Structures are given as structure tokens and as C-alpha cells.
Structure 1
Amino acid sequence: MLNSSDVELLDVLQATCLIRKNFFGKKISLHVLKNAKSGACPENCSFCSQSKSVSTEVEEYPMESADEIVAGAPRRNGHAGSALLRDSNSRAPSESEMQTICEAAFFIRRIFLI
């Protein structure tokens, strides 16, 4: 794919579009990725702007509260996303961060009936 010409790539994109339409129609699924915590990540993921291996001016903030996470959840009414992906910029959340994430997930599921 990376070494394909633009013409070849357009053929591939057209084929994937036909496959998608065949199985899913014209519907799309929107996923929203939002940080629950940002900056100063100890991991070394080369693709991530928060990685310790890159020098970017990423805003740093601590783990959001459960209320803030819930407030940032996409609504299931078609105006936002249909899935929420939260990133906590670490290999694993601390015990208190995990408790916050679980609390937020409980309320998101309950409020938005996901």
C-alpha cells in the first residue's frame, strides 16, 4: 500500500467502498477519541504525540474526574460519536484512575443506554 501509485490506491479505495456498501450500506460509525489525562506519558509509542520519545507542545493535565469524562461522552442521537474511546496516556491506570474510569463508564452506560 505504501509503495502504490495514486492510481492503484484509488482502485483499492473504490473496492473497499464497494465492500462497505455491500455489508453496511451507507451507514458509518463515528468513534471519538478524547484524552482523560494528557501529557508526560512514560511510554515510548512512536505514533503518539504524548510519547516521551517526541518533543511536542502537548497540553498536560491530570486525570479528569468521572463527571468530566461523562460530560465529554458522545450522545447517541447522531450529533456526536457512537463510541467513546478514552486515553489515559500510560501503560496502565493507577488504582484511583481505574476507579474513576469505572465510575464514569457506569454512568455513561446508564445515562446514554450504550
Structure 2
Amino acid sequence: GGQAVTGPKQVTVEQGSSLAVSCSYKPRYKLNSKYWCRKNFLRFCLTYIQTDGSEVTVTGDRVSIRDNHTAHAFTVTLSSVTLEDAGRYSCGVKRKLGINRWHSTKVM
């Protein structure tokens, strides 16, 4: 029972500042790849960044993701936030078999 992935339902951030979202997951998923994606108008989720299942920080253009196996949580940081960044995002866990587990966050 319970949610496999949990996180904030909504976050508000000022333009130009940084956004950090932390998502927790069930211990059994600690070695799975974690991801952060943005939902478009068709509700498809376009992956921004993902881990390889390790605790190594992965850094993209303005976004980075870091997993903490001990805390069973991963943190996504988005820097220099603009109005265009507002929208719906998901943080999730990739599974080899079955449906990915994810949690949706609205950024305002």
C-alpha cells in the first residue's frame, strides 16, 4: 500500500531564482533510474533529466538531479526559473517491468 513515489503537490518559485523539488520513493526502488519530466498539453511527459540508478549527480542545461539511497529520496534542482517553466512536472522511478511509478508536481 501507499504511494511508491511522493513529493510536493505544488511549488511556487520567483522568477530568476532556483527551484528544488525532493521526491521520496519506496526503499525497493533505490537502484532504479529516477527521472524528472514535464507534461505537455497532450499530457505526455517529456523527460528533462534522469539518473542511472546511482547516487551520481546528473547535470543538464539548467537542471540537475541527485539520488540519495540512504534517504530514499532524490532532489531535482532547476536554476534561473522563468515564466516559461510554469506547468506540470512529474518525478518518477523507471521500472524494467510494469508501469513507471511517478508523482505529479505543479510549478507556479
TM-score (norm 2): 0.24
Structure with higher strand content:
2
TM-score (norm 1): 0.23
Structure with higher helix content:
1
Q: Which has the higher contact order (CA 8 A, sep 6+)?
A: 2
Larger radius of gyration between Structure 1 and Structure 2: 1
